[in-house]
A and B are shown apart, each in its own frame.
Chain A
Amino acid sequence: MELYHLSIEEARRVLDNGELSPVELANSLLDRIGALDDEICSYITVTKEKALEQARDAEKALKEGVRHPLLGIPLAIKDNICTKDIRTTCSSLILENFVPPYDSTAAKKLGEQGYVLTGKTNLDEFAMGSSTENAAFGRTKNPWDKARVPGGSSGGSAAAVASSQCLAALGSDTGGSIRQPAAFCGVVGLKPTYGRVSRYGLVAFASSLDQIGPITRSVRDSAIVMNAISGNDRNDSTSAEVDVPDFSSALGHDIKGMKFGIPREYFREGLDRGVEDAVAAAIKQLESLGAHPVEISLPHTEYAVAAYYILATSEASSNLARYDGVKYGLRVDGEDLSEMYRKTRESGFGAEVKRRIILGTYALSSGYYDAYYKKAQQVRTLVVQDFNKAFEDVDLIVTPTTPAPAFKAGDKTDDPLQMYLTDIFTISLNLAGVPGISIPCGFTSQDLPVGLQIIGKHFDEATVLKAAYAYEQATEWHKRKPEI
């Protein structure tokens, strides 16, 4: 097997026993990136020098007997997660040359384990989008079918993992931005509970919804990365003071007798036939492993997308105000201050970002606040209650990750509403703050990957991973790789 196809788990073994050096591994990935990425466009910045330097450091550390789960492991990081002294663009012209003088907590934690950074991956500008087409430096292609989108906004991370241009990657998920691209690219994507992973250094899109999480090629790798990045952080007041279990040790247990909720609202018309069949078969598979599917209801699902687009855009309109040309990033001079602001933001932001800033500004305006923002917060409360109520009876909830597989590039770019609806099954989790994973569960007739979403209780990623692992080990889907 090629080195770049290794999982973290496999690489760990050969790195630790000296069969493989981190520099060899890094070179393998860098060569792979060199060969593929002009076409896939999963990276905005490839950090070749940095990667080799870190790999040499890891090699030295390994020889000295240092052992960490991610020591010497080549990982990519979504380009809205700040990395010290490495350009972090958010796929936006307004931050084209922004080099953070600090590390995000997540990147810092990976650094403490001696990981190797292959580069910064592409995304929809400021994580606003579902296709990685709203990208200032070129759209990312789906490795399974280059005419199709990889999903978004963490499309670069998902495509890089699927095409073996890194062993795993960090993404961020505000309304589905880890899980939807993971489903579209046939990989594993976990959105942790809100508050599980520090947001410090994650460039904010919607602060009350954003969460960093891993995109990997296996459930075990997901657990390994989660172990590394989770935990309370004094730099993030919204990060929870909750103990972090060893997620790896949650794996390998049977799921006999577990109750899986199947929300009827997620299986309505409009669901793609291939997705429906694959998910139905996955539920059968879980049943054959001893789990009990139970039909449940999440009655406020239909209002989730609307509420989400009020809340997320409101927060975004405020979060993106700092890009004003004054302190860093792009500045376009004007005759006076307001012209400088206008010209800077006009040429610095893309169309979708502008659309959301305008939407959010409107929703927060005096006279409209109660009708929009406040109402949306009330809906959010109802969505939280839906999940809390459901989890009184079931251990996990299982749904398709997306209503349809990856669509063709350009198909939805002129219709924002259709684009927004691709996140219909993932958005509720962000509103409720609960964790969810997308794992490969089959292919459509067009050989496009289908994702199965498993949703857990707050801070119960362990159970989510346990079930995902049991399913994964009983199936072969995760072993298929795109022909590139």
Chain B
Amino acid sequence: MQYEAVIGLEIHAQLLTETKIFCGCSTTFGAEPNTHSCPVCIGMPGVLPVMNRKAVEYVVRTGLATNCTISAYSRFARKNYFYPDLPKGYQISQYELPLCEQGFVVITVEGVRKKIGLTRIHLEEDAGKNIHDGAVSESLIDLNRAGVPLMEIVSEPDLRSPQEAVAFVRKLRTIVRYIEVCDGNMEQGSLRCDANISIRRPGEKELGTKTEIKNMNSFRFIEKALEYEIKRQTKVLGEGGRIVQETRLWDSARGVTESMRSKEEAHDYRYFPDPDLMPIEFEKSWVDDIRKNIDELPDARQERFITQYKLPEQDAVFLIAEKAVAEWLEQAVSLGGDPKTVSNWVQGELTRLLNEENLSVEQCLVKPKHLVEMLELIDKGTISGKIAKTVFEEMFRTGGEPRAIVEDKGLVQMSDEKGIETIVDDVLNRNADAVERYKSGEAKLVSFFVGQVMKETRGKANPKIVNELFRKKLN
């Protein structure tokens, strides 16, 4: 039996504010435990929260970038539960009346575009961290993260496959990075994702019983966890069983999801409006100002790359995913680089080398100017396309200028026909039997001859001339 998966995601994004949501403590990651804490974020008696205006602005910015309605009137609520990393015994979050509602983002999977609805985006505070150190029998608590502003983005159950889910998270990550509200770092947990997933027979209107999957802290794990869960649910139904509504944890080491708590064990959070914070009422002009200050968004840039640069959609989708990459390309094009050629280099060598070295494009030593200069050298015939890869890698390692590298390393292309002919003749003379075999029909031996010339010239011979010479001499 084939089933269709129905997936909705909840994404938590830490906001890039300098200070915490309700106090002046720093939000910097990686400090000594409990050094970024104060009476307010430790939840001492009598202290009160004061809303960080920037945090509200960042959520509104996200809402505007994802086609949401910005609520004219929004309220904060307390979500009550006991846990050692939650200092007040409640999390200040939003329940009714979130900041943003009813938006959407567009994803592209295998060339197909699809609109994914957003139910809501709300603002809340992060909790601290329990540390279970093997050396001591007690649990330790680090409250540096407690009170870091967190934005929760909830999607509609519009996703139908793990691939769509990944594309959705990627797209949101691209957006929040574009508008500079979240660094999108999944490893450090500044972007986290939970999924609600159920399966049903295609064409069925009713939703199946869902499970909630937690702890998927990379794109790969989102895909794997959801694939596993679909298989698991399919097997349960296939064997005539029923899906239990529960929360399951993804265990990346074992590649399985495991039951964490059932619906019956689910918390009653006893939400109620937080009496310590006034409701937020937006002035339209404030929202308009935020809207005005949003730069070009990923979708718009993607369209522009297709129309202005005549790039294939597939290229555009890849290039806009990282703002810095897109800007790198734009700079190269503005310096005279051909868009498609630059796109090929960016998607090819540049991306390969960055991934190998685990660097971001901002950290990269090759500047757009260098690539454009190098492309000019190819166009003029100074270097061959093959040599260019060597030059590019050298630029990547040293940050050197392409011309200087070509000269220093003696990589200028040999286009002197007489000189090449001497080498060609020499190769033919030294390999008389190969010439015989070629003449008796082994056509592919041409590449052997060309290879010999390249070996002699350390790759510098103009391959076009070499090929022509062989063709002339052998036929």
Asked if A200 and B48 make an inter-chain contact with CB atoms under 8 angstroms apart, the answer reads yes
A203 contacts the other chain (CB 8 A): yes
B-chain residues with CB within 8 Å of residue A102 when the two chains form the complex: 39, 44, 47
Closest-CB distance, B139 to chain A (whole angstroms): 8
Residue of A nearest to B80 (CB): A318
The smallest C-beta distance from B319 to any residue of chain A, in angstroms, reads: 44
Q: Are B89 and A98 in contact (CB under 8 A)?
A: no
* Interface membership of A383, Cβ < 8 A: no
Chain A residues with Cβ below 8 Å from B84 are 324, 326, 337
The reply to whether the CB of A160 lies closer than 8 angstroms to some CB of chain B is: no
Pairwise interchain contact A237-B51, C-beta atoms closer than 8 A: yes
**Structural contact, A321 and B89, CB atoms closer than 8 A:** yes
Closest chain B CB from A75 CB (angstroms): 18
Cβ-neighbour of B82 out of A104, A203, A207, A341 (below 8 A): A341
Q: How far is the CA of A136 from the CA of B90 in the complex (A)?
A: 26
Taking CB atoms, residues of chain A closer than 8 Å to B278 are 237-238
B45 in contact with A100 (CB, 8 Å): yes
Question: Contact at B270–A365, with CB atoms within 8 Å?
Answer: yes
Question: What is the CA–CA distance of A365 and B84 in the complex, to the nearest angstrom?
Answer: 22
Query: Does B275 lie within 8 Å of A315, measured CB to CB?
Result: yes
Q: Is A268 among interface residues, defined by CB-CB distance under 8 A?
A: no
Choose from A80, A234, A318, A320 the contact partner of B270 (Cβ within 8 Å). A318
CA distance A82 to B45 in the complex (A): 8
Q: Are B48 and A95 in contact (CB under 8 A)?
A: no
B200 within 8 Å of A (CB atoms) = no
CB distance from B299 to the nearest CB of A (A): 37
B141 located at the interface, meaning its Cβ lies under 8 Å from any Cβ of chain A in the complex = yes
Known: A203-B46, A318-B90. A366 touches B268 (CB 8 A): yes
Residues in B with CB closer than 8 Å to A202 are 46
Q: B224: CB under 8 A from chain A?
A: no
B50 near A324: Cβ-Cβ < 8 Å = no
Q: Is the CB of B49 within 8 A of A237?
A: yes
Chain A 317-338 near chain B by CB (<8 Å), digits 1 or 0: 1101110101110000000010
- Determine how close the nearest CB of chain B comes to the CB of A146; give it in whole angstroms: 31
Instruction: List B residues 133-153 near A (Cβ within 8 Å).
Output: 141
Instruction: Give A462 to B56 CA distance when docked, in angstroms.
Output: 37
By a CB distance below 8 angstroms, the chain A residues around B87 are 322, 326-327
Q: Given known contacts A321-B88, A326-B141, is B45 in contact with A90 (CB within 8 Å)?
A: yes
Determine the main DSSP class of B at the interface with A: loop
Chain B residue nearest to A234 in the complex (CB): B50
A373/B272 contact (C-beta < 8 A), A201-B47, A202-B46 known? yes
Is B277 on the interface with A (CB-CB < 8 A)? yes
Bitwise interface map of B from 23 to 55 toward A, beta carbon under 8 Å scored 1, else 0: 000000000000000010011111111110000
The residue in B51, B84, B277 that gathers the most chain A C-beta atoms within 10 A of its C-beta is B84
- Determine how close the nearest CB of chain B comes to the CB of A379; give it in whole angstroms: 16
A82 and chain B: residue at smallest CB distance:
B46
A208 touches B45 (CB 8 A): no
Interface readout for A217-241 with B: 1 if CB under 8 Å, 0 if not?
Answer: 0000000000000000011111000
Q: How far is the CB of A376 from chain B (nearest CB, A)?
A: 11
Chain B 251-284 interface 0/1 with A at a Cβ cutoff of 8 Å (1 = within)? 0000000000000000010111001111000000
The reply to whether A100 and B272 contact each other, CB–CB distance below 8 Å, is no
Instruction: Give the residues in chain A near B80, CB-CB below 8 Å.
Output: 317-318, 321, 364
Please state if B46 and A365 are interface contacts (CB–CB under 8 Å). no
Q: Shortest beta-carbon distance, A356 to chain B, in Å?
A: 15
Is B78 interfacial (CB-CB < 8 Å)? yes
Contacts A321-B89, A321-B90 known; A366 to B270 CB distance under 8 Å? yes
Contact between chains at A328 and B89 (CB < 8 Å): no
Contacts of B46 in A (CB 8 A): 80-82, 88, 100, 104, 199-204
Chain A contact residue count (CB 8 A cutoff): 44
Q: Is A428 an interface residue (CB 8 A)?
A: no
A101 contacts partner chain B, Cβ-Cβ < 8 Å: yes
Q: A238-B276, A321-B89 are in contact. Are A361 and B270 (CB under 8 A)?
A: yes
The yes or no answer to A314 lying at the interface (CB within 8 A) is yes
Which residues of B have CB within 8 Å of A82?
A: 45-46
Q: Mark B227-245, 1 if CB is under 8 A from A, else 0.
A: 0000000000000000000
Say yes or no: A322 contacts B141, CB within 8 Å: no
How far, in Å, is B462 (CB) from chain A's closest CB?
73
Interface positions of B from 268 to 318, Cβ below 8 Å from A: 268, 270-272, 275-278
Please give me the residue from chain B that is nearest to A98 by CB atom.
B45
Chain B CB within 10 Å — which of A88, A326, A328, A337 has the most? Answer: A326
Contact residues in B for A420 (Cβ distance below 8 Å): none
Residues of B within 8 Å of A200, CB to CB, are 46-48
Is A407 an interface residue when CB atoms closer than 8 A count as contact? no
Q: How far is the CA of A40 from the CA of B90 in the complex (A)?
A: 38
- The answer for the CA separation of A321 and B87 in the assembled complex, in Å, is 9
| Contact of A391 with B by CB under 8 A | no
Question: Which chain B residue shows the least CB distance to A102?
Answer: B39
B275 to chain A: which residues have CB within 8 Å? 206-208, 238, 315
Among residues 99 to 123 in chain A, which have CB atoms less than 8 Å away from a CB atom of chain B?
Answer: 100-102, 104
A186→B49 CA distance, assembly (Å): 37
Instruction: Give the distance to chain B from A97, nearest Cβ to Cβ, in Å.
Output: 13
From the candidates A207, A315, A324, name the one contacting B89 in the complex (CB within 8 A).
A324
A108 → chain B closest CB, angstroms: 12
The minimal Cβ–Cβ distance linking A265 to chain B, given in whole angstroms, is 27
Q: How far is the CB of B271 from chain A (nearest CB, A)?
A: 8
> How many Å from the CB of B320 to the closest CB on chain A?
40
B272 near A364 with CB under 8 A, answer yes
Q: Is A95 touching B45 in the complex (CB atoms < 8 A)?
A: yes
The complex places the Cα of A82 from the Cα of B47 at a distance, in Å, of 9
A199 and B82 in contact (CB under 8 A), knowing A238-B278, A318-B90?
Answer: no
Closest A residue by C-beta to B78: A318
Report A-chain residues with C-beta under 8 Å of the C-beta of B90: 318, 321
Residues of A within 8 A of B78 (CB): 318
Residue A369 at the B interface, CB < 8 A?
A: yes
Query: Which of B42, B82, B272 interacts with A369 by CB under 8 Å?
Result: B272
Note all chain B residues with C-beta closer than 8 A to A318. Answer: 78, 80, 89-90, 270, 272
Within 8 Å CB of A95, what residues of B? Answer: 45
Which of A102, A104, A314 has the most chain B CB within a 10 Å cutoff?
A102
Residue from B49, B51, B82, B271 having most chain A Cβ neighbours under 10 A = B82
Cα A205 to Cα B50 in complex, Å, equals 19
Return the chain A residue nearest B274 by Cβ: A207
Give chain B nearest CB distance to A314 CB in angstroms. Answer: 6
On chain B, the residues within 8 Å of A321 by CB distance are: 80, 82, 88-90
Q: In the complex, A324 Cα to B84 Cα: how many Å? A: 8
Per-position 1/0 for B81-108, Cβ under 8 A of A:
0101001111000000000000000000
Answer whether A100 and B48 are a contact pair too, CB < 8 Å, given A314-B272, A321-B82, A324-B82: no
Distance between Cα atoms of A419 and B410 in the complex (Å) = 98
Residues of chain A contacted by B141 (CB below 8 angstroms): 326
Give every chain B residue within 8 A of A203 (Cβ-Cβ).
45-46
Chain A residues with Cβ under 8 A from B270's Cβ? 317-318, 361, 364-366, 369
Q: Report how far A206 CA is from B82 CA in the complex, Å.
A: 19
The distance in angstroms between the C-alpha atoms of A366 and B316, with both chains bound, is 49
Q: How far is the CB of A25 from chain B (nearest CB, A)?
A: 29
Chain B hits for A322, CB < 8 A:
43, 45, 87-89
- Known pairs A361-B270, A364-B80, A373-B272; A100 contacts B39 (CB<8 A): yes
Residue contact A365 to B42, C-beta cutoff 8 Å: no
A90 CA to B45 CA in the complex, in Å? 10
Taking the closest CB of chain B, its distance from the CB of A344, in whole angstroms, is 11
**Listed A/B pairs (10) with beta-carbon separation below 8 Å:** A81-B46, A88-B45, A88-B46, A200-B46, A200-B48, A204-B45, A237-B51, A317-B270, A318-B90, A369-B272
**Top 9 A-B residue pairs of the complex, sorted by shortest distance between their CB atoms:** A321-B89, A208-B275, A364-B270, A207-B275, A203-B45, A201-B46, A203-B46, A82-B46, A322-B43
List residues of chain B with CB under 8 Å of any chain A CB: 39, 42-51, 78, 80, 82, 84, 87-90, 141, 268, 270-272, 275-278
Given contacts A203-B46, A318-B89, A321-B80, 6 further A-B contacts (CB under 8 A): A201-B47, A204-B276, A237-B48, A315-B275, A322-B43, A364-B271
